[in-house]
Amino acid sequence: MQKVPLLIIAGPTACGKSDVAVEVALRTKSEVVSADSMQVYKYMDIGTAKLPLSQRRGVPHHMLDVVTPDEDFSLAMYKEMAQKKSLEIGKKGKIPILAGGTGLYIKALSENYPLEQMPYDPKCRSELEQEWQQLGGPALYRQLEQADAAAARRISPGDKRRIIRALEIYRLTGVAATEIQQKARQDNPFSPLMIVLNQARHQLYRRIDQRSQSMIDEGLVEEYKSLLDRGFSPHSNAMQGLGYRHCHMLLQGEWGEGEMLAMLQQDTRRYAKRQLTWFRGEKQAIWLDNSDPGQTPDAICRIMQGYERWKAN
């Protein structure tokens, strides 16, 4: 099976991924597939930092505005939809560019993570929780060693959550999670190249602070009010995203405008830190500095050089 090349442009929020992805897409005549867990929602533009149409410069963007804020949207749904769209782009002779900062979305698509073959079951999970309490963690770890020795070598004997999850998969399917994952990697329709953009921390945090202020100036609170006017619950998952839950606190009188801005900046910096931690775990990723996104950054030139070498292989 000939694999479809998949160029991934990832990184923390506010590092300039969207603009770089557009520039690379223009140079390669490609299309962009978003990997952002908030940009899938309609009517949520300012708080999710969706690139305006004018800044997309004619480059097709996919996986934006696919569900309303009151609809459930899962990782499995994302993988199915994004995989279908990326394969369609590949069939046209183009290379899909997966751009975003939601690490789990990127991993699910680029590694063909077998979500549909690794089921969840509340009853099974509850039974395993009870066994952990009654028999103890070491007993369940021994079960894991017998069921999935490779997983046992990766998982700490005290990691209750991962031990129970691995045993849950084995009991529900009769197959070790490691075996399922290995088969999925073999069947992966994509050949991924991951580029992670980053900036010096002080610069990234400054950009985050500026973006937070810009969101408020551009009408984030008004966007949130319009969502409420459309009938969307402030307690839905979508409305718990960065910026939107901060608007809720402001309108409830819990925070003043200054406090809302400070908390939004702080929480976004913390989110960026978590993103960086995630991407550091991606051993195959190529890290590039994007400290000068205002001009044609060196990162784009280096991406294009790597792209040409990768394409040739």
For 240, phi then psi, to 5°, come to -95, 0
How far is it, in rounded angstroms, from Cα 281 to Cα 179? Answer: 21
From 66-80, 156-170, 255-269, 289-303, the region with the lowest mean pLDDT: 289-303
Pair (207, 296) in one structural domain: yes
Which of 139, 159, 185 is where one domain is finished? 185
How far is it, in rounded angstroms, from Cα 184 to Cα 114? Answer: 6
Given a contact cutoff of 8 angstroms between Cβ atoms, the answer to whether 38 and 48 are in contact is yes
CATH number for position 176: 1.10.20.140
Which of 163, 185, 207 is where one domain is finished? 185
For 44, phi then psi, to 5°, come to -115, 90
Pair (96, 196) in one structural domain: yes
Q: Indicate whether 295 pLDDT > 60.
A: no
Q: Indicate whether 312 pLDDT > 70.
A: no
The pLDDT of residue 308 is 73
How far is it, in rounded angstroms, from Cα 211 to Cα 41? Answer: 20
Pair (87, 152) in one structural domain: no
What is the band of 297 on the pLDDT scale with cuts at 50, 70, 90?
A: low
Given a contact cutoff of 8 angstroms between Cβ atoms, the answer to whether 17 and 8 are in contact is no
Query: How many structural domains are present in the chain?
Result: 2
Q: Indicate whether 105 pLDDT > 70.
A: yes
Average pLDDT for residues 153-169, to the nearest whole number?
95
Mean pLDDT of the chain: 94
Q: Indicate whether 171 pLDDT > 60.
A: yes
What is the band of 305 on the pLDDT scale with cuts at 50, 70, 90?
A: confident
Q: Which domain holds residue 152?
A: 116-185
CATH number for position 76: 3.40.50.300
The pLDDT of residue 307 is 72
Neighbours of 137 (CB within 10 A): 16
Give the burial class of 149: count Cβ atoms within 10 A of its Cβ; 0-12 exposed, 13-18 middle, 19 or more buried: exposed
Strands lying side by side in the sheet with 61-62? 61-62, 31-34, 96-100, 4-10, 190-198, 286-289
pLDDT tens sequence across 251-264: 999 999 999 999 99
Pair (202, 272) in one structural domain: yes
Pair (194, 98) in one structural domain: yes
> Which residues face 193 on adjacent strands?
7
Neighbours of 206 (CB within 10 A): 13
Pair (25, 167) in one structural domain: no
